[in-house]
Chains A and B, each alone.
Chain A
């Protein structure tokens, strides 16, 4: 199988994007102070998080596969994460 980048992989999935509401919010200060920023960039299988040149963490919530890994590794207060509203988000066809 030819190697694919993460965005190429995600392009194979079906998503029902919630245009109105992001389900992820990073507290930049706490994320930086606790190292949560770097940890969630590394552990997210969908590359939702990226560290910008100014050190802030950007969030591409549309790509989220809803595993909860980022929330599990985040320090208290660094991340607000809940499931997308009912019916929105990733729609697995295989699972």
Chain B
């Protein structure tokens, strides 16, 4: 076997987002030599999310998270709104129990990620920002990754073994590379792990952060202190394109955005900024933002394929975590990616730690990551919601249900001096006027119950 130079690091993590930082942090805590590379000038400077972080997982990694990390508000009020052109029907759930213990917080990534990277540095990780990794270095497998006398055998299936990364003219070598480089993951593609995603597995999120005085936010969203509201919107907000809108409260700003599926956006030939403008100007949305100042405008892709999108996440010498692995769940009511990034990072750090311990960083040696992930609550949830993406692709979800609900309620609330009818018969009439048929209600009800 050829002599291979002693690697520069035990592990190189590419991408200082949530997935990369948590992986690097936990490996450093195990006493490993870890390099964390980030292309942004500072960690977080390239990252964007809607902003609701389901925080239990990250609290386990950083016990002081809620007090020390730059979190915005603790979500105690969740609303789901079916938006129509001139009506809107919503579910409004506010619960003091959600504040204690805290279940979800809003975050802004350009503030959160530097905090996470700081934690990594404290734990001994070498953090290298401002460097773009251009490709993974591979060798023919099985290769010898000499570690003293012990054989680092490789018996994976790609025929290639990842041995490091290249950034500009620099080649850096490690026993394991972690691709934590987000939804576009050029690394996973480069290594042959991820083919081009079908468009129905991707959505684009367009978001503005709008500054408003704290007191205005608290009054407008019915909040006290650091409590926060998360509003999920479906229907007219996306002009009939599959997707939805959101409004999340930060301490002194509101995150407002739309997420639209790329297959539908391109098929309907809609201009994405028109959709966003339409949402911002909607008569039931604009009042939330009245008097606000735009602080920042951004966009980012969302992985929407659910379980189907997760392909190979382990190969000889490399694992893929977070968005790079396609780990996002859109259930229609919640977009989850950050908590899954945490869970996959914890599983990866465990799996990599075991592989390093056993001196086997081949695909077989690293497979503990996959097992740990699918045994975790996040992996279980990916399976539970496996049918959600297909269910949410039904066009009915985005238009007709909202109108039907509004028509039923209009029948109930509009007291126009004619004698009232029972709600059930109002509903029947509304259904008769809707393009929806009873069989849709029944089949969507059953499918929804199963998918969500």
Q: Is the CB of A44 within 8 A of B272?
A: yes
Q: What residues of chain A have their CB less than 8 Å away from a CB belonging to chain B? A: 1, 3-4, 6, 9-10, 12-13, 16, 38-39, 42-47, 65-69, 71-73, 82-87, 89-95
Q: Is the CB of B44 within 8 A of A92?
A: yes
Q: Is the CB of B199 within 8 A of A72?
A: yes
Assess whether B130 is interfacial by the CB under 8 Å rule: yes
Q: Nearest-CB distance from A78 to chain B (Å)?
A: 13
Known contacts A6-B273, A67-B299, A86-B131: A94-B280 contact under CB 8 Å: no
Other A-B contacts than A3-B280, A4-B294, 12 sampled, CB-CB below 8 A, are A6-B273, A6-B297, A13-B298, A42-B271, A82-B186, A90-B298, A92-B46, A92-B48, A94-B110, A94-B296, A95-B49, A95-B112
Q: Nearest-CB distance from B262 to chain A (Å)?
A: 6
Assess whether B39 is interfacial by the CB under 8 Å rule: yes
Cα distance A67–B182 when bound, in Å? 10
Q: Is the CB of A93 within 8 A of B110?
A: yes
Q: Nearest-CB distance from B294 to chain A (Å)?
A: 5
A-side contacts of B168, CB under 8 Å: 86
Task: Name the CB-closest residue of B to A38.
Answer: B269
Describe B's contact surface by its main secondary structure.
mixed
Q: Is the CB of B183 within 8 A of A94?
A: no
Q: Is the CB of B271 within 8 A of A12?
A: no
Chain B residue total in the interface (Cβ 8 A): 61
Q: Is the CB of A85 within 8 A of B41?
A: no
Q: Is the CB of B272 within 8 A of A1?
A: no
Q: Is the CB of B290 within 8 A of A1?
A: yes
Cα distance A94–B300 when bound, in Å? 13
B-side contacts of A95, CB under 8 Å: 44, 47-49, 108-113, 296, 298
Q: Is the CB of B298 within 8 A of A1?
A: no
Contacting A72 at CB < 8 Å: which of B202, B280, B298?
A: B202
Cα distance A1–B300 when bound, in Å? 23
Residues 182-219 (chain B) with a chain A CB within 8 angstroms: 183-184, 186, 196-197, 199, 202, 204, 206, 208-210
Cα distance A40–B253 when bound, in Å? 31
Assess whether B434 is interfacial by the CB under 8 Å rule: no
Q: Is the CB of A91 within 8 A of B40?
A: yes
Assess whether B32 is interfacial by the CB under 8 Å rule: no
